[in-house]
Structure 1
Amino acid sequence: MTDAAPRRGRGRPARTESAAGPATRDRILDAAREEFSARGYDKTSVRGIAKAAGVDSALVHHYFGTKEQVFEAAVEGAMAPALAAPEAIVDGPLDDVGERLTRFFLGVWENPTSRTPLLAIVRSAVNNDTAAAVFRRLVAAQLMRRIAARLDAPDAELRTELAAAQLVGVAMLRYLIRIEPLASADVERVVAGVAPVVQGHLTNP
């Protein structure tokens, strides 16, 4: 008679699950983005994410912790192209940083691959305070503070937040709410109209 398999502690994934590695983690993140996109933050549960990913709920907790932490990881991955602006955009001359930043930001939204998860994140952030706090924290920490550090002004953080508000607002109206004629306007026309305003927020006296 063989010995029974040892019982695992409550809330801890089985050895075969925890050893699944990056592929399983990525599958959970993909499922989380789909769930947050379809249901929003409030109606999405860790159990639902686990079911969509084909894993046990304990494995989701093992990798990410709480639902808020799952959401943050999903947001960070989805927004990585928009947040990780190349040094040439952030560190170049300040006299045209508004155009560089606007062109880069809208370029990310124009790409269908990056736009789909971004829309899911923004929808959740609009309707839930926790999701909104995660969204604000990532935008502030990973992009705007890099620009604020270069501005020679006492209100540098406010200036960059106003610039961010301009860009995020345009993105929401164009890609999420789809207000016409903005939604169908040529992206170069949008850049031409928005970039001077972003530049003004950052460098005007």
Structure 2
Amino acid sequence: MSTNNGKRPGRPPGPSDTRDRILGNAREMFARSGIGKTSIRSIAAASGVDSALVHHYFGTKEQLFAAAVHIPIDPLLVLGPMREVPVDQLGLVLPSLLLPLWDSEMGPAFLATLRSTLSGDGVGLFRSFLQDVIAVEVGKRVDDPPGSGRIRVQFVASQLVGVVMARYILELEPFASLPVDQIAETIAPNLQRYLTGELPGLN
């Protein structure tokens, strides 16, 4: 005699359903309002759970964001060390940190996420990552003249997105096979000028 009382076999609703619900709400709210204007408390409320449970599953807000967009690493583990880098070395250190990450075993997951995001409705998530994480961590250090930090970071982002497209998506040779340090050293002067040099209309 059956003992499942007519219910379909399989895992009953539980933590995984709650976790998925939190992720879904986080993804929607981050895309709509950005990281800075979205709180753990608001995500918890939308998910019908306590804030402590969100922290239990995901840790910090940045770690929740990483999970929401399937980034395989906490972004602050990469960007956090940038706080200790002298401003005049940021142009070299940024690509020196990011390129090995993209070339690592985590790279395919990142690129798969990027492709699906750019072809879907997740563009707002990456815009939020750029403006609310990178701009906050780096932009505030290069905000000279005042108010220029955000556009400086966006110029840097445009260069790095170009590297991603040419090296990993279009796979242009020989660029796609160049050593990481060669690319980093080649683009570093441009990145540094975007960050700290004179830019038309800003000085």
Q: Quick check: TM above 0.5?
A: yes
Moved more, 137-146 or 77-86: 77-86
Return the match for 1:17 from 13, 16, 20.
13
Work out which of the residue numbers 114, 131, 134 in structure 1 matches 2:122.
131
Unaligned runs of 5+ in 2: 32-64, 199-203
| 1:82 shift after superposition | 4.9
* Structure having the larger proportion of residues in helix: 1
Indicate if the aligned counterparts of 2:23 and 2:67 stay in contact, CA closer than 8 A: no
Question: What's the offset of the Cα at 1:106?
Answer: 0.7
Q: Take 2:21 and 2:115, find their aligned partners in 1: how far apart are those partners? A: 26
Query: Could you tell me whether the CA contact under 8 Å between 2:79 and 2:137 is conserved in 1?
Result: no
Report the Cα distance in structure 2 between the residues aligned to 1:82 and 1:68, rounded to whole angstroms.
16
1:178 alignment partner, SS class: coil
**Partner residue of 2:21?**
62
* Residue aligned with 2:166, SS: helix
The 3 A distance-change label for structure 1 pair 203 and 136 is: same
Within 5 Å, give how 1:49-198 maps onto structure 2: 62-65=21-24, 68-69=27-28, 74=67, 76-78=69-71, 80-82=73-75, 84-112=77-105, 114-128=106-120, 130-151=121-142, 152-154=144-146, 155-198=148-191
Amino acid at match of 1:109: W
Instruction: Report the identity percentage.
Output: 26
RMSD in angstroms over aligned alpha carbons? Answer: 3.2
* Cα displacement (A) at 1:145: 2.1
Distance of 2:25 and 2:68 partners within structure 1: 14
* 3-state SS in 2 of match to 1:149: helix
Q: Check whether the contact 1:144–1:164 (CA below 8 A) recurs between aligned residues.
A: no
Alpha-carbon offset, residue 190 of structure 1: 0.7
Aligned partner of 1:10 in structure 2 is none
Q: Which residue of 1 aligns with 2:48?
A: none
Consecutive unaligned residues of structure 1, counting only runs of 5 or more, are: 8-13, 25-57
The number of equivalent residue pairs is 156
**Structure 1 residues 15 and 180, CA, compared in 2 at 3 Å: closer, same or farther?**
closer
| Alpha-carbon distance between aligned partners in 2 of 1:79 and 1:138, rounded to the nearest angstrom | 14
